[in-house]
Amino acid sequence: MFAKLGARVNVHQSIAPAVHYLQKPVQLFRTYDRANLRPDLIAALTVTVILLPQSIAFALIAELPPQMGLYAAIVGSIVGGLWGSSDQMHTGPANALSLLIASSLTAVVAVGTPEYAIAAGLMAAMAGVFQLGLGLVRLGMLVNFVSHSVIVGFASGAGILIAIKQLHPLLGLASAGSGTIGTLTSVVAEFIHLNTPTAMIGIGTMLLIIIMQRISSRLPAALLVMVLASLVVYLFGLDKQNVAVIGQLPATLPPLANLPFFNLDLISKLSAGALAVGAIGLVQAAAITRSIAAQTGQRLDSNQEFVGQGVANIFMGLFSGYAGAGSFSRSAVNYKAGAKTSMASIFSGVFMVIAMFTLAPLAAYLPISALSGVLIVTAYGMIDRAEISRIWRSHPGDAAIMVITLVGTLFLAIEFAVLMGIIFSLALFIWRTSTPRIQAVLPDENFSHFIYRPDKEPCPQLSIIEVYGDLYFGAVNYVEEFITDYAEAHPDQRYLLLRLDHVNTCDFSGIHMLESLVRSYREQGGDVFMVGTNYRVEQMMLSSQFDSFLGADHILNEDEAIGKIFHQELDPAVCIYECPIRAFRECQNLPKRIDLADIPLMGDIEADHILTVEARELWQWLNPGSVSNGDKPYVVDVREPREYNQGHIAEARLVPLPKILAEEVKLPADKQIVLVCRSGRRSRRAASALQHIGCMNVQILQGGMLAWASAGLLEAVEF
């Protein structure tokens, strides 16, 4: 029973988000504030003035009948507004997407046939299902993996390609070649056959739009010029002088299309194009919503936007339209016109229905060359030269993706160029995450931060390496190779401090890599310490038992890490006698005796036969009441005078290590000699040196003064 109950809970948890996304229209109408009605209506009317000519022109780019653009504009505006996330984004036919659709469809179905229009509707439904599925399973974050450079490169290439493809209808030339080079070649070859009235209308349209835009950017230049061009054709009867016109548009509501959903052969042929259309549509929608939300402060739900785009494309395909997406230009106009909610988009769809019924007769005289002029001016605006320049100057990877996508759009199948750009974006992302920035760092001049200082000599015993990226399976080899190469270049640095402040996650491959590093350093007689581990990394270390392998005391606090390693691990003899560098705050007051640099200190110590004595044992040995024969040891402190004066064993005599190494001191041969230093390293060196000259009656205090204090014998220390 409990298993069934748990299964029901899991099913409910899986279905609940999908139901929530699909209920967006209910929430919209339930929470709508009537105070927003007037600004939404004004914005909708403003957008409709732009949407009407755009929908016809963009349909021509897609090689589709003009009414399919009108149907897509009506359905996309209404459905996109009902299910979308953004309050200002406007969904419908889009220029670059129309070019992508044309490129995909012409490779499968003959242009101008009924099958071509049916295939366009089926592709819209397929792209919509893809987008809707991503939204329902909450994969909206996938859009972040597509580089902005892909959109800039595709939009720029599409703008150039649209302008090139409109040269033939602009000039009234008979036929167009295939491909960019073929089209340009045919324009040059057939230029002598241009239709003068057609060319004059097309070029005049472009000039009038440019002049109107300079007079006022608020003027509906495209609509006004198209109306004027229609009047010119009507008044002078140019439609009878071989000036091509759109022809009568049907004044009907979008009819339901009979799409071949079970034609698997056609579906397989359209799948690559539908995937490219769906992906570009989502990336474009995400870019629009983010840019507007940055100004309005609206909190967006990318999954809801995926659902909105998906449902809109499904309905656009079902109701005799073709695939669309969010429009940069219309969304910007919608926002600037004062739209408060997505009801503005819905109202614009309603206004489009009214406009289609009232203005459809004018289309009978609308010259195609005028639409070509509008499209060429629009295409020029698609080339964002400022953004191209910024990307070109920023990062070579982004610039390469932009150029590859742009060139591919011009000279390859467009859907292939788009998918290629997306693949390169993913490849760049993988490359960046698998090769995280990793560098050796040192404290700054004020010892307050760790920074990259290639001009400063590192500590000869301790390397500090900072990792900027996740320790996951794709990056661990790169990180391990860097640290291993650095260790080989600095063989004396037997200790490693890993700074993991910028590591968000660590998987099991990362744990294996860390274990390998720890083993390597410990085999060399050193150790590894870590600092800056966050909660998730620490939990991974706990669950994999890496914390036990490393030692809980090796994961240090940021403020205490250097001090702990410096005082408890590093060899003071190297710091004092060999190292002229004062890399850390702890080094600043350290006595330096680099004048003794000719005395070897860094080599391995042959100390297998050096006896040791524990702190408590030595204390009992020095206590008169605990020694039966009264033969106390001769305690020699081999530290520097400064260290000795700060605290020492009462019976200890100060004989600094340099004197022992230089054989400048004679120790009693009839007593057991116990050598003492801070941690035991210098006393071990001193014992080795004494044994080399025949003084075998030596022992060392195991752990030095640190062990003496830890044993609770501070009362026996003079301060």
pLDDT tens readout for residues 120-132:
999 999 999 999 9
pLDDT band at 624 (very low <50, low <70, confident <90, very high): low
Q: How far is CA 246 from CA 59, 65, 107, 226, 620, in A?
A: 11, 9, 25, 11, 110
Mean pLDDT of all residues in the chain? 85
pLDDT at 11 over 70: no
Residue 453's SS3 state is coil
Contact 173, 187 (CB under 8 A): yes
* Average pLDDT of span 389-395: 88
pLDDT at 106 over 80: yes
Answer whether 0.85 is exceeded by the pTM: no
Concatenated DSSP letters for 678-713?
SSSHHHHHHHHHHHHTT---EEEETTHHHHHHHTT-
* Rounded Cα–Cα distance for residues 169 and 487 (Å): 68
**pLDDT digits 0-9 by tens, 645-685:** 878 898 899 998 888 877 778 888 888 999 998 878 788 88
Concatenated DSSP letters for 466-514?
EEES-B-TTTHHHHHHHHHHHHHHSTT--EEEEEEEE---B-HHHHHHH
* Cβ partners under 8 Å of residue 249, min gap 6: 66, 67, 70, 356, 360, 363, 364
* Rounded Cα–Cα distance for residues 385 and 400 (Å): 16
pLDDT at 361 over 70: yes
Nearest one of 645, 618, 646, 632 to 702, comparing CA atoms: 618
pLDDT at 635 over 90: yes
The C-alpha angle with vertex 487 and arms to 486 and 490, in degrees rounded to 5, equals 90
**pLDDT digits 0-9 by tens, 270-311:** 999 999 899 888 888 887 887 788 788 888 888 899 999 999
Q: Do 611-718 and 437-577 have the same topology in CATH?
A: no
Contact 107, 413 (CB under 8 A): yes
pLDDT band at 9 (very low <50, low <70, confident <90, very high): very low
The confidence score (pLDDT) of residue 608 equals: 53
Burial of 623 from C-beta contacts in 10 A (0-12 / 13-18 / 19+): exposed
**118-135 b/e (C-beta count within 10 Å ≥ 16 → b):** bbbbbbbbbbbbbbbebb
The confidence score (pLDDT) of residue 717 equals: 41
- Per cent of the chain over pLDDT 70 is 92
* Cβ partners under 8 Å of residue 38, min gap 6: none
* Rounded Cα–Cα distance for residues 532 and 444 (Å): 18
The confidence score (pLDDT) of residue 6 equals: 47
pLDDT at 603 over 70: no
pLDDT at 401 over 60: yes
**pLDDT digits 0-9 by tens, 303-334:** 899 999 999 999 999 999 999 999 888 888 88
The confidence score (pLDDT) of residue 719 equals: 35
For residue 659, report the phi and psi dihedrals to the nearest 5 degrees: -65, -40
Please name the fold of domain 611-718. Answer: Oxidized Rhodanese; domain 1 (3.40.250)
* Average pLDDT of span 225-244: 87
The C-alpha angle with vertex 136 and arms to 414 and 290, in degrees rounded to 5, equals 60
Nearest one of 322, 383, 346 to 128, comparing CA atoms: 322
* Rounded Cα–Cα distance for residues 90 and 349 (Å): 10
The confidence score (pLDDT) of residue 151 equals: 80
Least confidently predicted of 15-29, 335-349, 368-382: 15-29
Among the listed residues 459, 506, 677, 695, the single catalytic one is 677
Nearest one of 683, 718, 707, 719 to 618, comparing CA atoms: 707
Q: What ranges do the domains of the chain cover?
A: 32-144+203-368, 437-577, 611-718
> Higher confidence at residue 495 or residue 663?
495
CATH of domain 437-577: 3.30.750.24
pLDDT at 710 over 90: no
Residue 506 is a catalytic residue = no
**pLDDT digits 0-9 by tens, 140-192:** 777 767 777 888 888 888 889 888 888 888 988 876 667 788 888 888 888 88
Handedness of CA 360, 361, 362, 368 (dihedral sign): positive
* Average pLDDT of span 350-377: 85
* Cβ partners under 8 Å of residue 454, min gap 6: none
The structure tokens listed for 359 are 């203005």
The confidence score (pLDDT) of residue 668 equals: 86
pLDDT band at 1 (very low <50, low <70, confident <90, very high): very low
pLDDT band at 49 (very low <50, low <70, confident <90, very high): confident
For residue 446, report the phi and psi dihedrals to the nearest 5 degrees: -95, 5
* Cβ partners under 8 Å of residue 90, min gap 6: 47, 51, 77, 80, 326, 327, 330, 331, 334, 345, 348
The confidence score (pLDDT) of residue 175 equals: 67
Strand pairing of 648-649 and 611-613?
unpaired
